[in-house]
C-alpha cells in the first residue's frame, strides 16, 4: 500500500518543480523583456530628446533667411541708402566674386579642411582633443564652418550635449545637400562681425568703406578674426586684442600653407587703417520710413527679414520741404504756430516729399496721414466740382447774400457781401455763402459722393457746414483729391514703395501698375483747374504765386478760430498740400491759409521745380490744337468717363470732337 503513496508523492514534487521552473522562465522573460523595453524606450526617449525638435533643412532659402533679425534698408531711386533700421545686412556676394586673399583667412582660422570633410571633421576633433589634453585647457576648437553656420542659423548658442548633437547631424545633412562653395558663400554672407554688421559686404563697408573684393590681405585677416568674439574685438580693431587675433589668423594661414611665413610677417606689420561709414541720419525722413515699414509689415505673403525698400522720395525735394518748413516757422515764431506738415506727389502718385511734423525727434505723430483736421475753404473746390457735374459752369451766376439754413447763418470772412457773382469769382474770393448755397442746392450726399470719388477717404458729416470744411480730413485726403483734378479727373493714389528687394538680389515685392480710373469728367476737371488758377492769380492764394511765371492752381483754407490753416495746390508737374496749426487745437494768432501755408507752399514749390521746364497747366484751349497730344489724351479720358458713367450717349462726344478737330 506504501508504494502507490510514494509514487503519488514523487509525482506531486515533480509537478511542483515543473511549475516553479515555468514561473522562473516567465519571470526571466518578463525581466529581460522589461530590460530590453527600458533600453529601447530609453533609447527612443533619448533620441527624441536629442533630435525630436531638431529643425529640418529643405531648401537653400532656409539657409539665407532662418533666424535673421529684422532689418529695413531704405534706398532712393538711384539705389543710394538713405535710411537703415536694425542690423546692416550686406548684399549677397557670390563666392566666385571674392578673391583668394579674402576667402583663405576665413578657411585658415575656422576650418582649413573645409573642402575635405563631410560637415563634421573627425580628424580635427581628434587633433583638438590631443592639444587640449596636453595644454590642460581648451586651446583649439574643432567646429567646422558648416557647424558654425548651423549654430548661427538654426540653433541656440548654449553649449549643451543636445545642441552639439543636433549641430553635428545638421552639418552632415547640409553638407550632403548643398555644394561646398554654396555653404561657404552663405557663411561669409551671414556671419556676424560686430558693430551691427552681418556678412562680409557689410563688414567691409562698416570698417573700411570698401567692397569685399577690394579688401587687402591684412584687412581680410582682420575681419576673419572678428567672428570669434565680435562684441569684444570689434570695439576697436586697432587695439591689441584685435591685432593679436589678426596675428593668429595669419599664423593659421601659414600652417595651412596658404601664405609664406615672410608674407605673414610683412602683413602683421601693416597698420590697420579704419575708415568707418556711419549709418545715414534719417532726420525728418523718418516719417516716410515709418510709413514704409508699416506698409511692408502688412504685405501678404510676409517679406523676409533682410528688406531693402526702394521708395519714391526725391532726396533733394525732401530736404527742400524740411528746410522750408523749419525756416518759415522759425521766422514767424510769434504766429502761435507750433506744427506744420507737407506732402508733395506727382501725377502718377509718387510721393516726392513728406514732412509729418516740425521735428520727428520730438513727435513721431505723422500729421500728413494721421491727423484729422478741419480743412476750411480748401474743401470748397470739391463742392464746386459737384456743382459742375450738375450742369453748372464757372460762369453760372449766384448771389452772395445773407442766408439762413434752419437757423444756421454762415457769414463771409469779412462779413460783407458782393451780390451777384460767377462761380469762378465766388471761388476766387472764397465766398462762404455761395459755397453753402451750392451744397444745399445739389445735395449734401452728392457733395460727399464727389469728394469721395476724388480722393477723400475720411468720413464726412452730412451737414451743410461741410461746404465750409467743417468735416475732419487728413492732409493726404486733400492732396489726393486735388491731384485727381490736376490729372484730368483720373484718380491719383499716392504711394511710397516702388519695390522691396532682399540682400540676395531677389525682388520680394514690386508695385503693380494699375489701369487709370476716370472718376471725374476731364473737361470739368480743366474748368476747376482754371478756377483754382484764378485763386492764385487774383484771389486769396496770391502769396502762393510761383517764380518765373510758372502756372499754378490751388486754394487756401482756414478753420474756425484760426485752429487750422491750409494751402493745397498744383502745377503741371507736382501736387502739394501744406497744413499748419497746433496739436492741441490751440488757435493761432490770425494765421490763415493765405499767409504761412501759402508762403511755405510757394517757397517749397519754387525749390522743387528748379531745373524743370515751365510746363503750363492743362486748359480747355489745349483742345483747339488738332495735333496736340494733350487733346488725344483728353478725349481718351473723356470717353472712359462716359463709358464708366453708363447711361450717357457718346454721340455728343463724337460730334464735339469732330467740331474741335475741324
Query: Bigger pLDDT: 159 or 296?
Result: 296
Sign of CA dihedral 469, 473, 474, 479: negative
Query: Bigger pLDDT: 173 or 262?
Result: 262
Question: How many Cβ atoms from other residues are within 10 Å of residue 195's Cβ?
Answer: 18
541 within 8 A of 505, measured Cβ to Cβ: no
> Is the pLDDT assigned to residue 53 strictly greater than 90?
no
Q: Per-residue DSSP letters for 189-250?
A: HH-B-STTEESHHHHHHHHHSS-GGG--HHHHHHHHHGGGSHHHHTT-TTSHHHHHHHHHHH
What's the rounded Cα separation, in Å, for the pair 197 and 352? Answer: 30
280 within 8 A of 291, measured Cβ to Cβ: no
Determine which of 22-26, 118-122, 136-140 has the lowest per-residue pLDDT on average.
Answer: 136-140
What's the rounded Cα separation, in Å, for the pair 197 and 195? Answer: 5
Helical ranges in 277-332 per DSSP H: 286-297, 315-331
Each residue's pLDDT tens digit, 532-551: 999 999 999 999 999 999 99
Determine which of 76-80, 472-476, 598-602 has the lowest per-residue pLDDT on average.
Answer: 76-80
Phi then psi for residue 334, to 5 deg, are: -85, 10
> Is the pLDDT assigned to residue 52 strictly greater than 60?
no
What's the rounded Cα separation, in Å, for the pair 459 and 528? Answer: 24
642 within 8 A of 359, measured Cβ to Cβ: no
Query: What does the pLDDT read at residue 1?
Result: 45
Phi then psi for residue 101, to 5 deg, are: -65, -20
Q: What is the rounded average pLDDT of the residues 252-273?
A: 95
Sign of CA dihedral 265, 271, 277, 278: positive
Each residue's pLDDT tens digit, 570-591: 999 999 999 999 999 999 999 9
**513 pLDDT tier (thresholds 50, 70, 90):** confident
> Is the pLDDT assigned to residue 130 strictly greater than 80?
no
Q: Is 377 a catalytic residue?
A: yes
Query: What does the pLDDT read at residue 266?
Result: 95
> H/E/C letters for each residue in 326-377?
HHHHHHCHHHCCCEEEEEEEECCCEEEEEECCCCCCCCCCCCCCCCCECCHH
**414 pLDDT tier (thresholds 50, 70, 90):** confident
- Cell 584685435 -> residue: 242
Query: What does the pLDDT read at residue 166?
Result: 74
Q: For residue 150, what is its C-alpha cell?
A: 548651423
Whether a cis peptide bond, with omega within 30° of 0, leads into 301 is yes
Beta bridge partners of 579: 341, 566
Q: Which residues contact 472 (CB under 8 A, 6 or more apart)?
A: 372, 373, 374, 458
pLDDT, mean over the chain? 86
Phi then psi for residue 540, to 5 deg, are: -70, -15
> Is the pLDDT assigned to residue 622 strictly greater than 80?
no
Each residue's pLDDT tens digit, 3-37: 555 665 566 666 666 666 766 766 666 666 666 55
Q: For residue 106, what is its C-alpha cell?
A: 576665413
> Is the pLDDT assigned to residue 181 strictly greater than 60?
yes
Query: What does the pLDDT read at residue 653?
Result: 38
Determine which of 322-331, 386-395, 404-413 has the lowest per-residue pLDDT on average.
Answer: 404-413
> Is the pLDDT assigned to residue 200 strictly greater than 80?
yes
Q: What is the rounded average pLDDT of the residues 512-517?
A: 88
CA of 75: how far to CAs of 280, 355, 598, in Å? 11, 18, 31
DSSP 304: P
Q: What is the rounded average pLDDT of the residues 208-228?
A: 96
Given the residues 234, 304, 377, 559, select the one marked as catalytic. 377
Given the residues 71, 73, 110, 592, select the one marked as catalytic. 110
Distance spanning both ends of the chain, measured CA to CA: 150
**647 pLDDT tier (thresholds 50, 70, 90):** very low
**138 pLDDT tier (thresholds 50, 70, 90):** very low
Determine which of 10-14, 97-101, 302-306, 598-602 has the lowest per-residue pLDDT on average.
Answer: 10-14
Query: Bigger pLDDT: 525 or 301?
Result: 525
> Is the pLDDT assigned to residue 658 strictly greater than 50?
no
> Is the pLDDT assigned to residue 485 strictly greater than 60?
yes
Q: What is the rounded average pLDDT of the residues 83-103?
A: 94
Sign of CA dihedral 33, 37, 40, 46: negative
353 within 8 A of 320, measured Cβ to Cβ: yes
> Is the pLDDT assigned to residue 45 strictly greater than 90?
no
128 within 8 A of 237, measured Cβ to Cβ: no
- Report the candidate in 73, 601, 617, 614 with the shortest Cα–Cα distance to residue 343: 601
- Report the candidate in 369, 297, 310 with the shortest Cα–Cα distance to residue 511: 310
Q: Is 643 a catalytic residue?
A: no
Query: What does the pLDDT read at residue 153?
Result: 79
Query: What does the pLDDT read at residue 462?
Result: 95
Helix (H, G, I), strand (E, B) or coil at 584: coil
Query: What does the pLDDT read at residue 277?
Result: 79
Q: For residue 175, what is its C-alpha cell?
A: 553638407
- Report the candidate in 13, 236, 189, 196 with the shortest Cα–Cα distance to residue 91: 189
Q: Which residues contact 479 (CB under 8 A, 6 or more apart)?
A: 343, 345, 494, 568, 575, 576, 577
Amino acid at each position: 500500500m506504501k508504494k502507490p503513496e510514494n509514487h503519488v508523492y514523487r509525482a506531486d514534487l515533480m509537478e511542483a518543480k515543473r511549475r516553479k521552473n515555468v514561473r522562473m522562465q516567465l519571470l526571466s522573460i518578463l525581466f529581460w523583456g522589461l530590460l530590453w523595453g527600458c533600453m529601447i524606450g530609453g533609447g527612443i526617449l533619448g533620441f527624441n530628446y536629442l533630435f525630436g525638435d531638431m529643425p529640418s533643412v529643405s531648401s537653400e532659402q532656409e539657409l539665407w533667411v532662418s533666424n535673421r533679425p529684422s532689418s529695413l534698408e531704405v534706398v532712393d531711386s538711384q539705389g543710394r541708402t538713405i535710411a537703415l533700421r536694425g542690423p546692416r545686412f550686406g548684399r549677397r556676394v557670390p563666392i566666385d566674386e571674392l578673391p583668394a586673399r579674402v576667402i583663405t583667412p576665413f578657411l585658415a582660422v575656422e576650418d582649413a579642411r573645409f573642402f575635405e570633410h563631410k560637415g563634421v571633421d573627425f580628424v580635427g576633433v581628434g587633433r583638438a582633443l590631443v592639444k587640449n589634453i596636453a595644454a590642460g585647457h581648451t586651446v583649439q576648437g574643432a567646429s567646422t564652418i558648416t557647424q558654425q553656420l548651423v549654430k548661427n542659423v538654426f540653433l541656440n548658442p548654449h553649449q549643451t550635449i543636445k545642441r552639439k548633437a543636433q549641430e553635428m547631424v545638421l552639418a552632415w545633412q547640409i553638407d550632403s545637400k548643398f555644394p561646398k562653395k554654396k555653404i561657404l558663400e552663405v557663411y561669409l554672407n551671414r556671419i556676424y562681425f560686430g558693430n551691427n554688421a552681418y556678412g562680409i559686404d557689410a563688414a567691409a563697408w562698416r570698417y573700411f568703406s570698401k567692397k569685399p573684393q577690394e579688401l587687402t590681405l591684412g584687412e581680410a585677416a582682420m575681419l576673419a578674426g572678428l567672428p570669434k568674439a565680435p562684441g569684444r574685438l570689434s570695439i576697436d580693431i586697432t587695439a591689441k586684442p584685435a591685432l593679436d587675433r589678426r596675428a593668429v589668423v595669419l599664423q593659421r594661414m601659414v600652417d595651412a600653407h596658404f601664405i609664406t611665413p615672410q608674407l605673414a610677417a610683412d602683413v602683421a606689420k601693416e597698420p590697420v587703417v579704419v575708415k568707418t561709414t556711419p549709418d545715414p541720419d534719417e532726420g525728418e525722413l523718418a516719417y516716410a520710413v515709418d510709413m514704409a515699414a508699416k506698409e511692408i509689415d502688412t504685405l501678404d505673403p510676409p517679406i523676409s527679414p533682410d528688406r531693402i525698400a526702394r521708395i519714391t522720395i526725391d532726396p533733394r525735394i525732401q530736404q527742400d520741404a524740411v528746410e522750408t518748413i523749419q525756416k518759415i516757422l522759425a521766422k514767424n515764431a510769434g504766429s502761435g504756430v507750433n506744427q506744420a506738415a507737407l506732402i508733395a506727389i506727382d501725377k502718377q502718385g509718387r510721393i516726392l516729399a513728406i514732412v509729418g511734423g516740425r521735428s520727428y525727434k520730438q513727435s513721431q505723430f505723422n500729421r500728413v496721414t494721421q491727423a484729422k483736421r478741419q480743412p476750411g475753404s480748401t474743401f470748397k473746390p470739391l463742392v464746386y466740382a459737384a456743382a459742375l457735374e450738375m450742369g453748372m459752369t464757372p460762369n453760372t451766376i449766384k448771389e452772395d447774400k445773407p442766408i439762413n439754413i434752419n437757423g444756421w447763418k454762415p457769414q463771409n470772412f469779412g462779413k460783407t457781401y458782393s451780390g451777384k457773382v460767377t462761380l469762378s469769382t465766388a471761388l476766387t474770393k472764397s465766398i462762404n455763402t455761395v459755397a453753402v448755397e451750392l451744397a444745399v442746392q445739389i445735395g449734401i450726399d452728392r457733395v460727399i459722393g464727389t469728394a469721395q470719388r476724388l480722393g477723400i477717404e475720411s468720413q464726412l458729416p452730412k451737414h451743410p457746414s461741410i461746404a465750409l470744411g467743417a468735416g475732419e480730413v487728413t492732409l493726404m485726403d486733400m492732396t489726393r483729391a486735388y491731384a485727381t483734378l490736376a490729372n484730368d479727373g483720373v484718380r491719383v493714389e499716392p504711394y511710397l514703395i516702388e519695390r522691396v528687394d532682399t540682400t540676395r538680389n531677389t525682388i520680394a515685392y514690386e508695385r503693380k501698375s494699375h489701369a487709370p480710373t476716370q472718376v471725374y469728367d476731364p473737361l470739368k476737371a480743366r474748368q476747376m483747374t482754371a478756377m483754382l488758377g484764378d485763386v492764385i492769380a487774383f484771389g486769396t492764394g496770391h502769396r502762393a504765386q510761383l517764380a518765373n511765371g510758372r502756372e499754378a492752381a490751388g486754394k487756401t483754407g482756414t478753420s474756425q478760430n484760426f485752429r487750422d490753416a491750409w494751402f493745397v495746390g498744383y502745377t503741371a508737374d507736382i501736387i502739394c498740400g501744406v497744413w499748419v496749426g497746433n496739436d492741441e487745437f490751440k488757435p493761432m494768432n490770425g494765421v490763415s491759409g493765405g499767409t504761412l501755408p501759402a508762403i511755405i507752399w510757394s517757397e517749397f514749390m519754387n525749390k522743387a521745380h528748379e531745373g524743370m521746364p515751365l510746363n503750363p497747366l492743362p486748359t480747355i484751349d489745349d483742345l483747339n490744337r488738332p495735333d496736340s497730344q494733350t487733346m488725344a489724351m483728353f478725349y481718351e479720358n473723356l470717353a472712359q468717363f462716359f463709358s464708366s458713367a453708363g447711361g450717357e450717349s457718346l454721340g455728343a462726344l463724337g460730334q464735339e470732337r469732330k467740331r474741335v478737330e475741324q
